[in-house]
């Protein structure tokens, strides 16, 4: 088991700077939901980040804010995982 943890530690160490840069880029977009400010730009950024990770991603218009829909093939085609999240923020 220690080998697995060591592999995870190495992976994190190798990628942490890039992940922090991506998070910083996301935080720079003022995607304030209540003001409809920057939300479209943030949706495109999220989709681009997913594509860079090997997903097929698209920004889908909706009656509200755009939806980022992404898909990636997994190791087991008989199983599906759904993740839901938001990319907008609320004003203080």
Residue 22 within a domain: yes
Q: What is the pLDDT of residue 89?
A: 82
∠ at Cα 27 (13, 39), nearest 5°? 135
Residue 51 within a domain: yes
Which residues of the chain have a pLDDT value below 50?
none
Q: What is the pLDDT of residue 1?
A: 65
Q: What is the pLDDT of residue 19?
A: 95
Q: What is the pLDDT of residue 78?
A: 92
Q: What is the pLDDT of residue 52?
A: 95
User: Which element (helix H / strand E) includes 16?
Assistant: helix 2-28
Q: What is the pLDDT of residue 62?
A: 94
Residue 85 within a domain: no
Number of domains making up the chain = 1
E-state strands within 1-92: 56-60, 67-71
How far apart (Å, rounded) are the C-alpha atoms in residues 34 and 90? 7
Domain that holds residue 15: 2-71
- Regarding pTM above 0.85, the answer is no
């Amino acid at each position: 088991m220690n080998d697995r943890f060591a592999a995870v530690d190495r992976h994190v160490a190798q990628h942490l700077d890039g992940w922090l840069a991506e998070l910083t880029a996301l935080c720079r977009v003022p995607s304030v939901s209540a003001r409809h400010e920057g939300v479209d730009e943030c949706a495109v950024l999220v989709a681009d980040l997913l594509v860079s990770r090997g997903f097929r991603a698209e920004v889908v218009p909706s009656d509200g804010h755009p939806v980022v829909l992404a898909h990636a093939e997994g190791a087991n085609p008989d199983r599906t995982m759904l993740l839901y999240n938001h990319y907008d923020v609320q004003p203080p």
